[in-house]
């Protein structure tokens, strides 16, 4: 979740990018490291905005997939073993699932991930923008190879609402909820889910900087497996009228989430 330290008005086009590294063993015997280099363009007006983003991904195993809600441990080409595990046949007592030997995990694969499209529109705001409610929609287009962990091979569709509330001149609260229909993999079915998050931002130095703490979660994606829950913190800098920078650090609270994730991002007005 990113909160901007400043609010832009009028139509504009922005280049948005980020670098993100996540690592975790999830519910597997082998640890996966995932590196994402995202590039995107955004077009926004006073009330509506659109964006497209395409990630370039490097991963140390194929067991983690990119879905519309982020990184998800699916088992990749061995997703059927996760389905069996969820039914208790391979994971009694929360034992880790062994998807392969060291020989099959001794290389890092790189490729482009699925592109994502998103749109949002402001539904309501007070005159001084103390309170604002917006609607959001997103879609992940299945172009990446699911056998190497870069995607699931299916469409993901989502829609939801966000609420921002300025508590004081320097303090901002933001809550978000979205319903997602994730496309099932060949041997692994996903539930329809709701993602939710809350964040508190505190600005300083005349709004140039903002510190952020956040919590995010997802309802049960795979039956009988605890869904991802994450806590995080971040820092946003409005470097100039045309550029903003942000950093983030998060920790997973459940085994479906990455143990640790760190990232840097930027947005540049063109």
Chain segment 33-74, per-residue pLDDT in tens: 999 999 999 999 888 999 999 999 999 988 999 999 999 999
pLDDT of the residue at 80? 85
* Max Cα–Cα distance, the chain, nearest Å: 61
pLDDT digits (tens, 9 = 90+) for 88-125: 544 444 668 877 654 454 668 899 999 999 999 999 99
Whether residue 5 is contained in a domain is answered as no
User: Is 4 a domain residue?
Assistant: no
If you count DSSP H runs as helices and E runs as strands, how many of each does the chain have, helices first?
Answer: 1, 15
Q: How many domains does the chain have?
A: 1
* Helices marked H in the chain: 79-86
With 80 as the cut, is the pLDDT of residue 78 above it? Answer: yes
Tokens of 252: 């997973």
Instruction: Please name every residue paired with 209 in a beta bridge, in sequence order, or none if there are none.
Output: 204, 237
Query: Would the pLDDT of 81 be above 70?
Result: yes
Q: For the purposes of burial, counting CB atoms within 10 Å of the CB of 150, is it exposed (0-12), middle (13-18) or buried (19 or more)?
A: buried
166 part of a folded domain: yes
Q: Is the pTM for the entire model greater than 0.85?
A: yes
- 215, HSE (Cβ side, Cα atoms, 13 Å): 4
**Residue 25 contacts by C-beta under 8 Å, 6 or more apart in sequence?**
31, 32, 96, 255, 259
pLDDT at 7 (0 to 100): 41
Which of 86-95, 97-106, 221-230, 237-246 is predicted with the least confidence, judged by mean pLDDT? 86-95
In a domain, 2, yes or no: no
C-alpha distances out from residue 183 to 54, 62, 67, 157, 259, Å: 19, 18, 9, 8, 25
Average pLDDT over residues 143-170: 92
Taking residues 197-226, report their average pLDDT. Answer: 94
Residue-level pLDDT at 4: 42
Residue 241 vs residue 101, higher pLDDT: 241
Average pLDDT over residues 73-94: 70
- So what's the pLDDT on residue 91? 47
pLDDT at 142: 95
Domain that holds residue 183: 12-269
CA distances to 99, 181, 224, 264 from 190, in Å: 19, 8, 12, 30
In a domain, 82, yes or no: yes
Confidence of residue 16 (pLDDT cuts 50, 70, 90): very high
Q: Do 74 and 188 contact (CB within 8 A), yes or no?
A: yes
Q: Is residue 109 part of a domain?
A: yes
Question: Mean pLDDT across the stretch 187-215?
Answer: 95
pLDDT, residue 57, reads 95
Region 223-249: mean pLDDT is: 95
Other CB atoms within a 10 A radius of the CB of residue 128 amount to: 7
Give dist(CA 30, CA 21) in Å, integer: 17
Task: Determine contact, residues 62/146, Cβ cutoff 8 Å.
Answer: no
- Is 7 inside any structural domain? no
3-state secondary structure 175-234: EEEEEEEECCCCCCCCCCEEEEEEEEEEEECCCCEEEEEEEEEECCCCCCCCCCEEEEEE
Q: Could you tell me if residue 81 is inside a domain?
A: yes
Question: What's 152's domain CATH number?
Answer: 2.40.160.40
State residue 215's pLDDT score. 98
């Amino acid at each position: 979740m990113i909160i901007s330290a400043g609010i832009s008005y009028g139509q504009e086009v922005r280049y948005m990018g980020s670098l993100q590294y996540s690592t975790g063993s999830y519910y597997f015997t082998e640890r996966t490291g995932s590196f994402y280099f995202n590039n995107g363009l955004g077009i926004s007006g006073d009330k509506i905005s659109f964006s497209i983003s395409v990630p370039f991904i490097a991963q140390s195993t194929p067991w983690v997939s990119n879905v519309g809600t982020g990184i998800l441990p699916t088992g990749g080409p061995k997703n059927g073993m996760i389905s069996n595990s969820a039914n208790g046949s391979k994971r009694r007592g929360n034992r880790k699932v062994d998807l392969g030997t060291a020989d099959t995990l001794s290389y890092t694969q790189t490729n482009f991930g699925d592109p994502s499209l998103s749109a949002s529109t402001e539904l309501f705001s007070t005159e001084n923008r103390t309170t604002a409610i917006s609607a959001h929609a997103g879609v992940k287009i299945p172009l990446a190879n699911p056998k190497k962990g870069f995607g699931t091979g299916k469409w993901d569709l989502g829609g939801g609402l966000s609420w921002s509330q300025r508590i004081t001149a320097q303090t901002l609260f933001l809550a978000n909820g979205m319903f997602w229909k994730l496309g099932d993999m060949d041997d692994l079915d996903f539930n329809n889910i709701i993602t939710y998050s809350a964040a508190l931002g505190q600005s300083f130095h005349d709004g140039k900087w903002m510190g952020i703490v956040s919590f995010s979660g997802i309802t049960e994606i795979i039956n009988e497996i605890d869904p991802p829950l994450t806590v995080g913190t971040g820092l946003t800098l409005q470097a100039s009228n045309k550029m903003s920078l942000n950093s983030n650090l998060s920790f997973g609270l459940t085994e479906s989430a990455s143990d640790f994730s760190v990232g840097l991002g930027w947005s540049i007005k063109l």
